[in-house]
Amino acid sequence: MLKRKIDDYLIKWKKNDNRLPLIIYGARQIGKTTSIREFAKKNYKSVIEINFISNPECISFFSSFNIDDIINKISFYNPAFKFIPGETLIFFDEIQAFMDVTTSLKFFALDKRFDVICSGNALGINNLHISSVSVGYKAEYVMHSLDFEEYLWALGYTTTMIDLLKKHLFELVPLDKGILDVLFKHYDDYMTVGGMPKIVDNYIKTILFDEVYLLQKELRKDYLDDIKQYVDGLDKAKVAKIYEMVPLQLAKDNHKFQFSKMGHGARFSSYFDCFNWLKDAGIINILYNLNKLELPLKLEMQDNNFRVYFSDMGLFMAFLDKNSENILRTNRDFNIYKGALYESAILESLLKSGFENIFFYRSLDSTIELDFILEYFNNFIPIEVKSKSGRTKSLNKVLEENKEIKLAIKLAKTNIGYNDRILTIPYPLAFLIKEYLNKTL
């Protein structure tokens, strides 16, 4: 059983006397059901689990939203289920197959006898019609695949060990070379394996990349199958095309998504909803360019100038051709996509740690290129990701032109350092950036 960050969230939710029914959603295969089952087993005398894909007959139990009526029907369906007030968790799984179950959450919240958790594939939850979402009577939690900290937990690293890394970063003390080398080795493995629990678990048990690669290929196919199942009409082909084109677009120098490569006459306007569909499904991350570096950043966003990354490195790896995959496994050369692999991994870390407003910036004359711009309270934080430990021309120029910037960040294969408003962070510690900003800004 892999330790996950949602574990602590669920415990806090359970301790809240005013807790509301909870909806947990995210991309497929990220461990939602496993985490909920483990939590339920440890914290409730009775667990009622209904999966709307494997138990579609249960959909008819919600013809009305009278709680006693629903409970009576579920009890008749399975007399082994025990409804003990105050000691029962009702777990509705795969709710994308029956989104109207969310209407019942208001009535469970008002009834208060039983705790309720719903879980489903974001691919269905965000893209299917919901007749009612019980606004004000539910809580929500977006779950992701494992971040690097969770990966370290899976390897056996304790909170105390990770606190040591935090202490070094927060106090700007370089890490011992031996520790840094081990950290980079684990990060290279994490980038190669990705964060899907099944794949991580397999790798930790076998230390074999061959089987990891097969599981990643299987994941790639599963997502394509989901696209075919959930996307309506003519958009099905468009969404599938975008999905297949992501790594090819990232292989270009600029990484900007080019519609000319989608086919003759392809236009942004006809694909806009398709990109958002994949983003809402938790399959891709979209990063928009800015007109200028000025707050609030959202007002400077260029809708038709963006980069697209996969939401999990394992999916990115599934799209590599055999030659590229061999280069990665044998030489650990992550520069085969012109820096896009590192960018993708760092963006993943930033999003999983809770950052929302993330952009990139490429000036019209191309003299300045910043991989990420974070908006953090009343500050914007420029970030450069270096595939090698090199100079930060763009950061230096932006800092020179913007004296009000308090901090810039360089991520590279190097040690912790700080000089003239530039904080240098080794890639593996990207998951700590938000905590660092909380303490220093």
Contacts of 89 (CB under 8 A, 6+ apart): 40, 43, 44, 46, 47, 48, 114, 115, 116, 117
Q: How many CB atoms lie within 10 A of CB 23?
A: 22
pLDDT tens digit sequence for 178-221: 999 999 999 999 999 999 999 999 999 999 888 999 999 999 99
388 pLDDT higher than 80: no
Backbone angles phi, psi at 255, to 5 degrees: 70, -5
**15-24, 120-129, 390-399, 428-437: the lowest-pLDDT one:** 120-129
Which structure tokens are listed for 34? 């496993």
Q: What is the DSSP letter of 174?
A: P
Distance CA(61)–CA(88), nearest Å, equals 19
Question: DSSP class of residue 175?
Answer: P
Confidence label for 258 from pLDDT (cuts 50, 70 and 90) = confident
Contacts of 28 (CB under 8 A, 6+ apart): 121, 123, 222, 223, 226, 282
pLDDT higher than threshold 90 for residue 304: no
Supply the pTM of this predicted model.
Answer: 0.94
Give the pair of three-digit tokens for residue 56.
Answer: 């579609």
Burial 332-371 (b: 16+ CB within 10 A, else e): eebebbebbbbbbbbbbbbbbbebeebbbbbbeeeebebb
Query: Strand 22-26 relative to strand 139-142: parallel, antiparallel, unpaired?
Result: parallel
Average pLDDT, the chain: 92
3-class DSSP string for 405-426? CCCEEEEECCCCEEECCEEEEE
Classify burial at 396, counting beta carbons within 10 Å of its beta carbon; exposed 0-12, middle 13-18, buried 19 or more: middle
Q: What's the DSSP call for residue 113?
A: S
State which H helix or E strand residue 153 sits in.
helix 148-155
Please tell me the least confidently modeled range out of 224-233, 244-253, 323-332, 381-390: 323-332
Nearest C-alpha neighbor of 243 from the set 133, 339, 149, 123 = 123
Decide if 225 contacts 246 (C-beta within 8 A).
no
Residue 265 has pLDDT above 80, yes or no: no
Higher-confidence residue of 328 and 272: namely: 272
- Mean pLDDT over 72-84 rounds to 97
**Each residue of 376-387: pLDDT tens digit?**
888 899 999 987
